[in-house]
A and B are shown apart, each in its own frame.
With several copies, the nearest count.
Chain A
């Protein structure tokens, strides 16, 4: 599969759209166990990236630079918890893409490894803490092992998205240990984690992008 800088920008634009569509849903999840702003925060951050896509990034061909600008823009626009988390993901991923305008399947896998390790590094959350890591970690493991076995990126990423979805669903049954919701104790049970949900949306948006590239 050939994945270009244009495809990377299409992925970012897909996330912009999916966050806008899910703004209320994400805020609603956060309202139940947090401070109710997750959808608003994601929307602010991704709209800021969207502005960059329309101007500064319009002609940018360096996938590393695209990720750096995406990460920094998101961080500056939102702060919050997810600012440093997703920004660190993009900035770590940027290193993999440095100077490249066409990406191989291996590089795409390395990107997601760096992205997800970055999130974990920044937030220090463990699997089962009821955070976005519960989506990202299983997705990462599935992606790595499937790709190693099959070398088919699209198929492997499809499995990764499913693993992430399962992880996201699992947060419903978890006691929160990190972030605002951790004070809730038992009362956090039954509610899906907003960050796990936005992380899943990002993974799916990537899969949608890859899939359309692939089938073209």
Chain B
């Protein structure tokens, strides 16, 4: 494990420091908690606040998605560990413009407990209305009949996009929650891992694979996946992922989707485009229309090798929200 870092104990704080210095036009730290970041622009009174967050190690998620048309603030945790309630609460207070705050976060035991505690405290201590949107897009993490147990992975990008665009368009708290839940409900992701990542503090690989193996349906934190399998050509991997997604969420001929082919960290864009090529072929064979595509590193697991494919099925309301412009440090859409 070779990393360009200083003391492994300080990586999160130093990362945030560098990030904030790099994008002063976009984000600032709250004075109360150095892991609480909010948009540098003054947000409108009466606008619903959108709060994201989770463990670090997924950069550009989550802090890269604070900006116009996306989130208003982010709470940053230790690597692969939910932030505690404090920074969530600080961000909540800072971005509440009188219309309440929506939390968008992945369905992990830690996040559920910490965001839940923060929401309770926000209500109790400041009377802030908080809406909760759990992201559960990872089809490999639980069978369909227990879909409420599924974890959140790369699809959180689309859920955040829906919430952020809706909030900017002036939707009420209830409506932001509604469209974000709808986006989550219509989003499915599955991934494969080729090489592990390692935590700066342990230096140990998150899983072990032979040279000819891949981990199918792995988690977002180097958690082992559903199964190990022989490394397949990109086309077959794409087929496996898309077919599992479509089996879980049928999309009819003529329906529209947005596609995200997400790199997990060390996989080249060359490979991601090659994966996308096959994804597009499969969808167009089925008459499914790709409304918009996203290919790149949107949510990583440190330097893990591999990728995930996400589909979100779009109705007219979601199309409008996907088309809505965004201006964040790590994602700008005109």
Contact = CB atoms under 8 A, between A and B. Distances in A.
A183 interface: yes
Contact of B79 (A31, A37, A81, A184): A37
Contact of B109 (A36, A37, A123, A187): A123
A104 B83 CA distance: 36
Interface stretch (B19-27, B201-209, B238-246): B201-209
A39 B202 contact: yes
B199 A122 contact: no
Contacts of B181: none
A33 interface: yes
Given A27-B204, A80-B114, 11 more contacts: A35-B206, A37-B79, A40-B202, A44-B9, A79-B77, A79-B78, A80-B78, A83-B81, A83-B84, A84-B114, A84-B117
Most buried by B among A76, A79, A122, A179: A79
B110 A37 contact: no
B86 interface: yes
Interface of A: 24, 27-28, 31-37, 39-41, 44, 75-85, 122-123, 178-185, 187
Given A79-B110, A80-B82, A84-B117, A180 B219 contact: yes
A122 B120 CA distance: 13
B112 to A, nearest CB: 9
Most buried by A among B86, B142, B224: B224
Given A79-B82, A80-B82, A180-B219, A37 B199 contact: yes
B85 interface: yes
20 contacts: A24-B202, A27-B204, A33-B224, A35-B80, A35-B219, A36-B206, A37-B80, A39-B202, A75-B86, A77-B84, A78-B84, A79-B114, A83-B84, A83-B110, A83-B114, A123-B109, A180-B219, A180-B223, A181-B223, A183-B140
A96 B79 CA distance: 34
A84 B202 contact: no
A187 B224 contact: yes
Contacts of A123: 109, 113
Interface of B: 9, 55, 77-86, 108-110, 113-114, 117, 140-142, 149, 151, 199, 201-202, 204, 206-207, 217, 219, 221-227
A81 to B, nearest CB: 4
Contacts of B85: 75, 79, 84
A184 B149 CA distance: 13
A174 B293 CA distance: 42
A75 B109 contact: no
Contacts of B77: 79-80
Contact of B78 (A39, A78, A84, A178): A78
Nearest to A75: B84
Interface SS of chain B: loop
B113 A122 contact: yes
A187 B225 CA distance: 9
A37 B81 contact: yes
A171 to B, nearest CB: 16
B109 A178 contact: yes
Contacts of B55: 79-80
Contacts of B108: 81, 180
B84 A79 contact: yes
A28 B202 CA distance: 9
A79 B83 contact: yes
A24 B202 CA distance: 7
A201 B19 CA distance: 38
A80 B55 CA distance: 8
A182 to B, nearest CB: 7
Most buried by A among B84, B151, B207: B84
Contacts of A40: 78-79, 199, 201-202
Contacts of B82: 79-81, 83
Contacts of A187: 224, 227
Given A36-B206, A180-B109, A79 B149 contact: no
B81 A183 contact: no
A77 B12 CA distance: 12
A183 B110 contact: no
A133 to B, nearest CB: 12
A182 B206 CA distance: 16
Nearest to B79: A37
Given A75-B85, A79-B82, A83-B82, A35 B202 contact: no
A110 B68 CA distance: 51
A184 B224 contact: yes
A79 B223 CA distance: 18
Contact of B149 (A34, A84, A182): A182
